[in-house]
Structure 1
């Protein structure tokens, strides 16, 4: 037996909205026959595309066999056949659209950041709760194979007492003059909602709190290393947003996390993001897909002597963690979880309040950078 769920998808003309959410999630779910529920039923998704550019919307709909699209969000939300509203627009316009969906009685699933401010995110959370709306924010990094293996190690007690986490994220984003940039130009204009702190600290918050412990304080330095970039039309513009951030995050239980985030770094590591976790009983290095470990019993005993070559090939002494399961696309897996949450009330942790905590960390990081001070995080309540 199959049911249907109408999903209004706003922002699918953008890179993330199109590739990860429409193509690799909603359409992939449609092709597999829907989302299977706990009682054996399936729920099929029926997307309705929403946006401002009717030419792009019509082209996407035609190429993928989608029967409906619209440039009128209000009319789409008024349609009783729409059950869920999804938003992948720019952050600056997200809050107004999400609020309209709540007022229309639609369940809401959205990209992060949920809003431009903590106060805005909390208001959306209050409104959704009062309206009985099921709500969720994308937490895609938690579904990466490497971090799922890392979570398995944490849950299995591999590390003993966790001492520290060290993260490296980023790559060189070309300025756009002699090679096209890999990211849209608005990412580097603060007036358009750009900035790596706003973008990445929301991710780091949910990674840290779900794998290790909640963040209690932050000390950060946000900088703009590259001051001039070129936009999609080849015109130079002044970069006003931070393109790198260096943060120290204090977690509950005494764990210290250090994470560097940069679009101005050349990669000398196995993956574009890596986390090293050190504990009393063992350590691990996890990336997008891979995770390597070294147990206490297999730890070498180096002695500092700069006058002699290294006595060990240190990296060869680590052991690869096996997959032990087939990992699906992380965005698709979370979509399936949210659909089950909407249809049968399955437990779901990544709600608007979780999204607000991510924005809280980004705001605290920017405040720390501006003042040069350590910032403690205030508790959020509805």
Structure 2
């Protein structure tokens, strides 16, 4: 009879991470010392983003470790993309309820796959005991003066969105309420699996952000919900925005499993899309169409920037007149005094 291997210590877990982390030429000293030493890129500005993901808040408790790892880095790279930055390095802080080597290996499978896809080096961090929580800091580079900012939207700009909206919020809805919708056919089951994939493994639009740097005016990634995030652009830029509800891009999977009112509510206020929403001059419409084809990333014109202080949703097609549509919620709010776990609690209303 063989003795069971001892549980890994904190330092065993760190060594596990160190052995799998890839380097870069600009990493002078990475994991293993009190701090990393990194080579600064000449003539470029450093862009830094940090996000924390907590179990039961940012991902369901039963989420696979590899999906948690993937998403933890992806959401940070999405922030860099929204600034038009090229990713370079990241640090990782892990709070774990127990010393679980197999869980960590699975987490690293997803985390390092995302890192490899974008040439990102993991250069340090921390491991501690506590409730499951993941904090990542991502670093990237941008040319001086080329960064995309929330405060640069201009009256007359078009409003654009990449990809499709509402998929991840629907995936969360079904993850929290198994069996809804009734998955009685393979088409429905496939649609729900695809929506859950959009929740668990978002795609940071890094190449798009880099291509927009110095061309688009303002940008933001959609994390809390399209309207909530566009509100930040309005506040920072001192403008108003009109969004045409019928212009919102919708995936076939989403439209096949929810009705029209719920679909619209998820698209406008669901969040977790991690698509890029940006403003650009009307003169760039053709160029953006060409960029969409070159990057194989759908880009949809969904609104316009004007005078005002907030985002208004018009219940009509692009550039048409119609009543304002008021959604049931504008997005996710931390520390909400009356939180609602349903990503879309009810139908919106129309102000005629």
* TM-score above 0.5: no
- Give the TM-score taking structure 2 as reference length: 0.27
When the two structures are superposed, what TM-score results if normalisation uses the length of structure 1? 0.25
